Amino acid sequence: MNIVTGFFYLFSTVLIASAVMVISARNPVHSVLFLILAFVNAAGLFLLLGAEFLAMILVIVYVGAVAVLFLFVVMMLDVDFAELKQGFLQYLPVGALIGIAVLVELVFVLGTWFQAPGELITRASAVKPGVSNTQALGQVLYTQYVYFFEISGLILLTAMIGAIVLTLRHKVGVKRQDIAQQVARTKETAMEVKKVPSRVGV
Protein backbone atom coordinates (compact mmCIF):
# COMPACT_ATOMS: atom_id res chain seq x y z
CA MET A 1 0.00 0.00 0.00
CA ASN A 2 1.50 3.31 -1.11
CA ILE A 3 1.12 6.69 0.60
CA VAL A 4 -1.74 7.81 -1.67
CA THR A 5 -3.82 4.78 -0.74
CA GLY A 6 -3.04 5.35 2.92
CA PHE A 7 -4.23 8.95 2.75
CA PHE A 8 -7.35 7.81 0.87
CA TYR A 9 -8.32 5.40 3.62
CA LEU A 10 -7.47 7.99 6.28
CA PHE A 11 -9.60 10.73 4.74
CA SER A 12 -12.44 8.30 3.98
CA THR A 13 -12.51 6.90 7.50
CA VAL A 14 -12.56 10.33 9.14
CA LEU A 15 -15.15 11.55 6.63
CA ILE A 16 -17.54 8.68 7.34
CA ALA A 17 -17.06 9.00 11.09
CA SER A 18 -17.68 12.76 10.93
CA ALA A 19 -20.83 12.25 8.84
CA VAL A 20 -22.17 9.79 11.40
CA MET A 21 -21.41 12.22 14.22
CA VAL A 22 -23.21 15.03 12.38
CA ILE A 23 -26.53 13.20 12.65
CA SER A 24 -25.90 11.49 15.99
CA ALA A 25 -24.47 14.33 18.10
CA ARG A 26 -26.95 15.72 20.62
CA ASN A 27 -25.46 19.20 20.67
CA PRO A 28 -26.21 21.05 17.38
CA VAL A 29 -23.01 23.08 17.71
CA HIS A 30 -21.02 19.85 17.81
CA SER A 31 -22.90 18.67 14.72
CA VAL A 32 -21.81 21.76 12.80
CA LEU A 33 -18.20 21.29 13.92
CA PHE A 34 -18.27 17.67 12.75
CA LEU A 35 -19.74 18.91 9.46
CA ILE A 36 -16.75 21.22 9.03
CA LEU A 37 -14.43 18.26 9.71
CA ALA A 38 -16.29 16.23 7.07
CA PHE A 39 -15.87 19.04 4.52
CA VAL A 40 -12.13 19.26 5.18
CA ASN A 41 -11.66 15.52 4.68
CA ALA A 42 -13.76 15.61 1.51
CA ALA A 43 -11.44 18.36 0.26
CA GLY A 44 -8.51 16.03 0.95
CA LEU A 45 -10.15 13.37 -1.23
CA PHE A 46 -10.57 15.92 -4.02
CA LEU A 47 -6.87 16.73 -3.78
CA LEU A 48 -6.03 13.05 -4.17
CA LEU A 49 -8.18 12.99 -7.33
CA GLY A 50 -6.32 15.96 -8.77
CA ALA A 51 -9.27 18.33 -8.47
CA GLU A 52 -7.53 21.07 -6.52
CA PHE A 53 -10.07 23.73 -7.52
CA LEU A 54 -12.98 21.74 -6.07
CA ALA A 55 -10.97 21.15 -2.89
CA MET A 56 -10.32 24.86 -2.41
CA ILE A 57 -13.95 25.74 -3.18
CA LEU A 58 -15.11 23.17 -0.64
CA VAL A 59 -12.89 24.67 2.05
CA ILE A 60 -13.42 28.34 1.22
CA VAL A 61 -17.15 28.33 0.45
CA TYR A 62 -18.61 25.56 2.57
CA VAL A 63 -16.27 25.64 5.56
CA GLY A 64 -15.60 29.36 5.51
CA ALA A 65 -19.13 30.54 4.77
CA VAL A 66 -21.93 28.00 4.84
CA ALA A 67 -20.84 25.92 7.84
CA VAL A 68 -19.89 29.00 9.86
CA LEU A 69 -23.25 30.57 8.94
CA PHE A 70 -25.02 27.44 10.17
CA LEU A 71 -23.00 27.60 13.37
CA PHE A 72 -23.98 31.21 14.07
CA VAL A 73 -27.62 30.51 13.22
CA VAL A 74 -27.72 27.54 15.59
CA MET A 75 -26.07 29.55 18.36
CA MET A 76 -28.23 32.66 17.90
CA LEU A 77 -31.64 31.07 17.39
CA ASP A 78 -31.70 29.46 20.84
CA VAL A 79 -34.03 26.73 19.60
CA ASP A 80 -35.69 24.44 22.12
CA PHE A 81 -34.39 21.13 20.74
CA ALA A 82 -36.22 19.14 23.41
CA GLU A 83 -39.48 20.34 21.91
CA LEU A 84 -38.34 19.50 18.38
CA LYS A 85 -37.43 15.95 19.35
CA GLN A 86 -40.95 15.27 20.59
CA GLY A 87 -42.17 14.58 17.04
CA PHE A 88 -39.28 12.24 16.23
CA LEU A 89 -41.39 9.08 16.21
CA GLN A 90 -43.92 10.72 13.91
CA TYR A 91 -41.39 11.10 11.09
CA LEU A 92 -39.49 7.89 11.83
CA PRO A 93 -41.23 5.78 9.11
CA VAL A 94 -40.48 8.35 6.40
CA GLY A 95 -36.85 8.61 7.53
CA ALA A 96 -36.56 4.82 7.58
CA LEU A 97 -37.85 4.59 3.99
CA ILE A 98 -35.36 7.20 2.81
CA GLY A 99 -32.54 5.41 4.64
CA ILE A 100 -33.50 2.07 3.06
CA ALA A 101 -33.59 3.65 -0.41
CA VAL A 102 -30.10 5.14 0.07
CA LEU A 103 -28.83 1.79 1.40
CA VAL A 104 -30.19 -0.06 -1.66
CA GLU A 105 -28.48 2.43 -3.98
CA LEU A 106 -25.17 1.93 -2.15
CA VAL A 107 -25.54 -1.84 -2.44
CA PHE A 108 -26.11 -1.53 -6.19
CA VAL A 109 -23.04 0.70 -6.57
CA LEU A 110 -20.83 -1.64 -4.54
CA GLY A 111 -22.18 -4.67 -6.41
CA THR A 112 -21.35 -3.09 -9.74
CA TRP A 113 -17.89 -2.20 -8.50
CA PHE A 114 -17.17 -5.76 -7.38
CA GLN A 115 -18.60 -7.43 -10.49
CA ALA A 116 -17.39 -5.05 -13.19
CA PRO A 117 -14.85 -2.50 -11.94
CA GLY A 118 -14.17 -1.25 -15.46
CA GLU A 119 -17.75 -0.05 -15.92
CA LEU A 120 -17.33 2.65 -13.27
CA ILE A 121 -14.24 4.20 -14.86
CA THR A 122 -15.19 7.68 -15.93
CA ARG A 123 -14.23 8.53 -19.46
CA ALA A 124 -12.07 11.61 -19.70
CA SER A 125 -13.62 14.50 -21.59
CA ALA A 126 -11.93 16.02 -24.57
CA VAL A 127 -9.81 18.71 -22.94
CA LYS A 128 -7.34 20.66 -25.01
CA PRO A 129 -3.68 20.29 -24.11
CA GLY A 130 -2.40 23.03 -21.85
CA VAL A 131 -5.82 23.72 -20.29
CA SER A 132 -5.76 23.62 -16.50
CA ASN A 133 -8.28 21.85 -14.33
CA THR A 134 -9.86 25.13 -13.22
CA GLN A 135 -10.16 26.45 -16.77
CA ALA A 136 -11.71 23.22 -18.06
CA LEU A 137 -14.22 23.20 -15.20
CA GLY A 138 -15.14 26.82 -15.89
CA GLN A 139 -15.72 26.10 -19.57
CA VAL A 140 -18.17 23.32 -18.72
CA LEU A 141 -19.80 25.14 -15.80
CA TYR A 142 -20.51 28.40 -17.65
CA THR A 143 -21.64 26.82 -20.93
CA GLN A 144 -23.53 23.54 -20.47
CA TYR A 145 -24.58 24.01 -16.83
CA VAL A 146 -24.91 27.78 -16.61
CA TYR A 147 -28.64 27.67 -15.74
CA PHE A 148 -28.08 25.16 -12.95
CA PHE A 149 -25.23 27.34 -11.67
CA GLU A 150 -27.48 30.39 -11.56
CA ILE A 151 -30.25 28.43 -9.81
CA SER A 152 -27.82 27.23 -7.14
CA GLY A 153 -26.72 30.83 -6.59
CA LEU A 154 -30.35 31.90 -6.08
CA ILE A 155 -30.90 29.05 -3.62
CA LEU A 156 -27.85 30.10 -1.60
CA LEU A 157 -29.03 33.73 -1.66
CA THR A 158 -32.45 32.66 -0.38
CA ALA A 159 -30.84 30.63 2.40
CA MET A 160 -28.69 33.60 3.41
CA ILE A 161 -31.67 35.96 3.53
CA GLY A 162 -33.65 33.40 5.52
CA ALA A 163 -30.85 33.04 8.07
CA ILE A 164 -30.66 36.82 8.48
CA VAL A 165 -34.41 37.13 8.91
CA LEU A 166 -34.48 34.34 11.50
CA THR A 167 -31.71 35.87 13.57
CA LEU A 168 -32.99 39.46 13.34
CA ARG A 169 -34.69 40.27 16.63
CA HIS A 170 -36.37 43.54 17.56
CA LYS A 171 -35.53 44.33 21.16
CA VAL A 172 -37.47 46.83 23.21
CA GLY A 173 -35.60 50.03 24.02
CA VAL A 174 -32.99 49.68 21.25
CA LYS A 175 -32.75 52.60 18.85
CA ARG A 176 -32.97 51.61 15.19
CA GLN A 177 -32.40 53.48 12.00
CA ASP A 178 -35.55 54.78 10.27
CA ILE A 179 -34.52 55.57 6.72
CA ALA A 180 -37.92 57.02 5.73
CA GLN A 181 -37.82 59.45 8.64
CA GLN A 182 -34.28 60.51 7.77
CA VAL A 183 -35.15 61.13 4.13
CA ALA A 184 -38.25 63.16 5.08
CA ARG A 185 -36.25 65.56 7.27
CA THR A 186 -36.47 69.26 6.40
CA LYS A 187 -34.57 72.29 7.57
CA GLU A 188 -37.23 73.07 10.13
CA THR A 189 -37.19 69.61 11.70
CA ALA A 190 -33.47 68.96 11.41
CA MET A 191 -32.18 72.20 12.88
CA GLU A 192 -33.24 74.29 15.84
CA VAL A 193 -31.91 77.83 16.30
CA LYS A 194 -31.57 79.13 19.85
CA LYS A 195 -30.55 82.59 20.94
CA VAL A 196 -28.03 82.38 23.75
CA PRO A 197 -27.62 85.47 25.98
CA SER A 198 -24.23 87.09 26.16
CA ARG A 199 -21.74 85.52 28.61
CA VAL A 200 -24.10 82.58 29.32
CA GLY A 201 -23.31 79.01 28.41
CA VAL A 202 -25.47 76.89 26.23
DSSP state of 116: -
For residues 25 and 70, state if they share a domain: yes
> Would residue 183 count as lying in a domain?
no
Domain final position from 66, 100, 122: 122
Per DSSP, the three-state class of 177 is coil
CATH number reported for the structural domain that contains residue 11 in this entry: 1.20.120.1200
Would you say residue 135 lies in a domain?
A: yes
Same domain, 54 and 117: no
pTM: 0.56
Together in a domain, 73 and 28: yes
The predicted pLDDT at position 79 comes to 61
How many domains are there within the chain? 3
Contact 22, 34 (CB under 8 A): yes
Instruction: Give a yes or no: residue 179 inside a domain.
Output: no
Q: Has residue 194 been placed in a domain?
A: no
Do 16 and 62 lie in one domain? The reply is: yes
Give me the domain span that covers residue 59. Answer: 1-87
With contact defined as beta carbons under 8 Å apart, do 39 and 63 qualify? yes
Cβ neighbours, 10 Å, residue 172: 4
- CA-CA distance, 103 to 108, in Å (whole number)? 9
pLDDT tens-digit profile, the chain (202 residues): 688 888 888 889 999 999 998 888 877 778 888 888 898 899 888 888 877 888 888 888 888 777 777 777 777 666 666 666 666 677 778 888 988 998 888 888 777 767 766 655 555 555 567 777 778 888 888 888 889 989 999 998 998 888 788 777 667 777 777 788 888 888 777 777 778 887 776 5
